[in-house]
Amino acid sequence: MDAYFLEATPKTPKLDFNPDADTFLISGRSIPENSIEFYRPLLDWLDNYVQNPLDSTNFEVKLEYFNTSSSKCLVEIFRKLEKIKEAGKDIAIDWYYEEEDEDMEESGEDFKQIIKVPFKMVEIKA
């Protein structure tokens, strides 16, 4: 399976999903004009990945900011990752936030409450 990679832009995050590695990454800012259109190829890629995932997958979320429509797409991504856990494979999500960024911390805590995957909050010291 090929990797899914997009470099970050001022409005879209870096997406680094490499099945040969055990860590997937989304980082930067997520304020695309059309979040559903932007994330659809990644969601399709994840549909394929969950059919035959690695024994262990770690997903790192290092977003500086995201808009409401991106939030909905993140939930869809997390729901797909739940299928990996349901298949008996190891999956974990690390949510990174800067120590002064209460909004990102609260967002991570909100996701942690609704996602049925091990979800670790990781504070980055300024």
Element (H, E) at 63: strand 56-66
- In three-state secondary structure terms, 99 is coil
pTM above 0.85, yes or no: yes
CB 29 within 8 A of CB 23: no
The residue extents of the domains of the chain are 4-124
CB 105 within 8 A of CB 78: no
Summarize pLDDT for 68-93 with one digit per residue, the tens: 999 999 999 999 999 999 999 999 99
Rounded to whole angstroms, the Cα distance separating 116 from 13 reads: 24
What does DSSP assign to residue 9?
A: -
- The answer to whether residue 99 scores a pLDDT higher than 90 is yes
Domain 4-124 falls under CATH 3.90.25: no
